[in-house]
A and B are shown apart, each in its own frame.
Chain A
Amino acid sequence: MYLLGNTYHTMKIIYLTFLLCVFGIFGCTTEVLDNERILIEGRVVDVNGNGLENINVKAETAPFLLGEGITDTNGNFSFTSLKTNRNRIIISINLKNNQIETPLNSIVFEYRGLEIQRNYELGDIMLRDTSILDFKIEKTSTTENTLKWQLVFKSGSCERNFSDDNIPDQNLCYEENLFATQNNSERPDFEQQFLTLKNTEAIFTYSIDQGAEQTVIIPINEELTNYVFEY
Chain B
Amino acid sequence: MFLNINKIVFLVFFLCGTAVSAQVDEKNIEEDKPIKSEGRKNDNLEQDDHYGIFEIGPYLPISIGKNFANEAQDQKIGIQAGIAINLFNTPALVGLRFTRFESDVTNREVLGNYKNSNVSTFGLVLGYHVLLEPKWRITSSVSVSSVTYNNQANDFEFVDSGTSLEFRTSVGYHFSKIFGIYAAPTYRLDFLDINAPAQTKDFLDSASYLSVSFGIRFVI
Contact = CB atoms under 8 A, between A and B. Distances in A.
Interface of A: 31-39, 63-70, 78-82, 118-119
B41 interface: no
B196 interface: yes
B197 interface: yes
Contact of B153 (A33, A64, A80): A64
Contact of B158 (A39, A82, A118): A82
B200 A68 contact: no
B158 A32 contact: yes
Interface stretch (B7-15, B20-28, B46-54, B104-112): B104-112
B204 A32 contact: no
B199 A39 contact: yes
B161 A35 contact: yes
Contact of A82 (B114, B161, B192, B197): B114
Contact of B155 (A37, A63, A69, A119): A63
Contacts of B202: none
Given A37-B194, A66-B113, A70-B109, 17 more contacts: A32-B157, A32-B158, A34-B158, A34-B159, A34-B161, A35-B160, A35-B193, A36-B195, A36-B196, A39-B199, A64-B155, A66-B112, A67-B113, A79-B110, A80-B111, A80-B200, A119-B199
B2 interface: no
B219 to A, nearest CB: 40
B88 interface: no
A79 B109 contact: yes
Given A64-B156, A82-B112, A39 B196 contact: yes
Contacts of A80: 109-112, 196, 200, 204
A35 B156 contact: no
Contact of B113 (A31, A34, A35, A81): A81
Interface residues of B, number: 24
Q: 9 closest A-B pairs (Cβ-Cβ)?
A: A37-B196, A32-B158, A82-B112, A119-B197, A79-B109, A39-B197, A34-B159, A118-B197, A32-B156
Contact of A68 (B108, B192, B204): B108
Given A68-B108, A79-B110, A33 B158 contact: yes
Nearest to A79: B109
Contacts of B195: 35-37, 118
Contacts of A31: 156, 158
Nearest to B150: A34
A39 B200 contact: yes
Nearest to B72: A80
Contacts of B110: 79-80
Nearest to A82: B112
Which of A32, A64, A69, A70 has the largest number of chain B CB atoms within 10 A? A32
B72 to A, nearest CB: 9
A63 B204 CA distance: 25
A36 to B, nearest CB: 5
Contacts of B156: 31-32, 64
A201 B158 CA distance: 49
Which of B161, B192, B196 has the largest number of chain A CB atoms within 10 A? B196
B160 A34 contact: yes
Interface in B92-118: 108-114
